[in-house]
Structure 1
Amino acid sequence: MNGAKLTDNKKGLKKLFERLNKMTRRFTGEWNAEVGVVQNATGTDKRTGKPKRISIAQEAFYNCKGVPEKNIPARDYQTKAIKQFMPKWRAELKRQLKKQSREEWKTGKSRLTDKKIMEGLGATAAGDVKYTIETGDFEPNSPATIARKSRGNYRKLRRKGLSAEESASALAGSGTKTPLIDYGDLLNAQKAAIYKGNKLTGIKSAKRR
């Protein structure tokens, strides 16, 4: 985990947490979180079994910005997540800090440390970003992309022993039409890196919604 780094488009989520942190002096300059994809994380090409030619962080960047020359539209899931869930994250930070203060007032010390607050908030935010990838209203896949996904998934189901009819039925409700999900590499790579100052203290997985 040492030296790990998360990336997100324009550092939008890092800036968000910095703004949230300023709501209380004790957090400012101390604890922070970055939500995104661990740098150099790579997915596997399921057709060849070899690592993909680009990292998942690059994949995230291309999806958010778009690649016009390859007819790939921008699907900025990060900005969409920030706009949708900012009030939730702000309210959750306030709630946790109030809980911490009540415990300190009653006992002189709270089990809810600053680190735990930031870890929980980061994991929640990562989960919300995953939710946005899964459910966001993005530019739909092209017919060619849908066909490519369907072919690969159909063969995979048949190899598992499903009949042609069962495979077709399963694909009808699958993610073949979901723009940002192919094999789940980008979706499952969403993490929260927790920092104290500039020192990485840990990486938290996304919290399930």
Structure 2
Amino acid sequence: MSGFSKRKLLVLLLLIILIIGAVSIYFYLQQQAKEKEAEQIKTLLVEINGVINLMDAVKSEMPKELLETHEYLMSGALGGKLYRTDPKLKDQIMYHGAKTQSVYINPDIKLKKELWIPVFYHEVAHNCWHSKNPVITFEEFETQLFNSENYAYSVQSQAFVLAWRHYPINREELKTEFERKLFDNYNGEAGGLC
């Protein structure tokens, strides 16, 4: 074998090793990202469970709409229907799927547990509303959208007021601008309660 052919073979061998190494690193990094996401979701589920337990402890004081939503949640209606949001929707905290009766949550957004209460109950309230007012067509859904939003915002406000009464939030202790903005929005909706 000539020196030129040996060099070609050596270059080809190095190229193959580089490709295998790059592919291996790519799959390793993908696996690490999936594991990190799974850990984030697990942590968030623990927080959401804590939120539900906080609210369950004060359910005797819940107004009608909030109690309906809480009982809907406690009935297991959401069981297995809590999913990760689309990663492209980075600024979305949480949203619901009216047709699927699911709730989608963004594990990248960190909030104080007491702030999760109104966010979570708002989305669950939509599902509670739609479970009592089922629709078949998109047109029927559109006609109910306003009522669904009113119900969800009522529940959200009730949840914030009840949470604030039992688990006060000190604005100065909030760590991020996002948390402070959310707090200010809820406080404004609750008539400046805090």
State TM-score, norm by structure 1.
Answer: 0.29
Larger Rg: 1 or 2?
Answer: 2
Q: Identify, as 1 or 2, the structure richer in helix.
A: 2
Q: Which has the higher contact order (CA 8 A, sep 6+)?
A: 1
